[in-house]
Amino acid sequence: MKVLVAMSGGVDSSVAAALLLEAGHEVVGATLKLWGGVSDSGCCSVADVDDARRVAQTLGVDHHVFNYAEEFEKHVVTPFVEGHARGESPNPCIECNRHIKFDLLFERAQRLGFDAVATGHHAQVEWRAGEALLTRGADSAKDQSYVLGYLHREQLERLLLPIGAMTKSEVRAHAERVGLRTWDKPDSQDVCFIESSLGREVFLRSRIPLSSADLVDRASGEVVGHTDAAELMTVGQRRGVLPGRDGEKRFVARVDIARRRVEVGRLEEIMVDSLVLDQNSLSFARDALAPDTPLWAQWSAHGQPRRATLRFRGEWSLDLDEAARPVAAGQSVVLYSLSDPRVVEGAALVRR
């Protein structure tokens, strides 16, 4: 099988390429050049491209660099900035996976005559009754099925995830055993287009004006503080919010950019028991989901899944079995089957 391997320069994609080569496949590596600006973090730095190239040399496989900087700006960076300008908290890594690493890369792989695309994600594609299904990775601490929740069935049918059945320690051990320079390289943690030395505020200020806002106690209506950048406030956060007069911690409950107002409250005051979903993002492509379907719902990459029931009351929503902290608009929720670790749907949250 002729396989195009997306090589980010990290240990996971390095081992993915090595395993496919060992299995007898014809392997070609591809690194995506996504961010045209300065990068000192994430997976878009010059050093990462060099690491991927040198791993390919060690393995004896061809390596290419595909430039998607224009598309990355359009589909990832611009929506990230515009989301913050609306008071949302977008997830750029999911959008990058959805629009760039899979949509565009799959299209190019098909044009170039590859049979499959492979990545180093900690997730698994399982075939059941002739159908390709996305399931959680074997290493629960590193599971990345959440960020792949938007993949279509046609993409899953042509996707290989060679390390999905391995733990992270097993991946590193295999990389060291076969002499890959990335065997002890730390995992990428940050947004690749934001310099870690400068941070999100500096990046956003270079793109949009940031608005000052009052912090308002939602119970009393009293102004209890101030922020110089409401666009940086995230629903559920405590950092930057002073305790109330009662000494209890306060959390962000709502960000209203237009009114330059950020509502805060005690934790018990801001908890929610339902989430309204972006109706346009729910395709139900994998399963014929119906109202009143019980599921596991997860809304952060390493968050704990929570039991919920899918409802339709003029729009699709999730009723949570137990109240949870509010989830910021723009974040994604991925739905899993109750009976096994199978992903059944991904969606974007638009409001609580």
Q: Where are the domains of the chain?
A: 2-177, 210-270, 272-351
Res 188: pLDDT: 76
- β-strand pairing of 123-128 with 131-136: antiparallel
User: Tens-digit pLDDT profile for the chain (352 aa)?
Assistant: 999 999 999 999 999 999 999 999 999 999 999 887 665 555 667 788 899 999 999 999 999 999 999 999 999 999 999 999 999 988 898 888 888 988 999 999 999 999 999 999 999 999 988 889 999 999 999 999 999 988 888 899 999 999 999 999 999 999 999 999 999 998 876 688 888 778 889 999 999 999 999 999 998 899 999 999 999 999 988 888 888 778 789 999 999 999 999 999 999 999 999 999 887 776 554 455 778 889 999 998 888 999 999 998 888 899 999 999 988 888 889 999 998 889 987 877 765 4
Which CATH code, of 2.40.30.10, 2.30.30.140, 2.60.40.10, 2.60.120.590, is assigned to 272-351?
Answer: 2.40.30.10
pLDDT of residue 193: 85
Q: Do 272-351 and 2-177 fall under one CATH topology?
A: no
Task: Give me 95's structure tokens.
Answer: 């959008």
Which residue in the list 43, 44, 93, 192 is annotated as catalytic?
A: 192
Sign, CA torsion 237/241/244/249: positive
Residue 38: predicted pLDDT: 62
Q: Which residue out of 43, 44, 93, 96 is catalytically annotated?
A: 96
Buried b (16+ CB within 10 A) or exposed e, 304-335: ebbebbbbeeeebbbbbeeebebbbbbbbbbb
Residue 227 CA to residue 225 CA, distance in Å, equals 7
Strands laid side by side in the 159-160 sheet: 62-67, 26-33, 2-6, 116-118, 159-160
Quote the pTM value. 0.90
93 is catalytic: no
Residue pair 20/27 in contact (Cβ under 8 Å)? The answer is yes
Q: Is 44 labeled as catalytic in the residue annotation? A: no
- Tell me the C-alpha distance between 319 and 144, whole Å: 24
Report the pLDDT value the prediction gives residue 287, as an integer from 0 to 100: 55
**Fold (topology level) of 2-177:** Rossmann fold (3.40.50)
Tokens coding 309: 């029931």
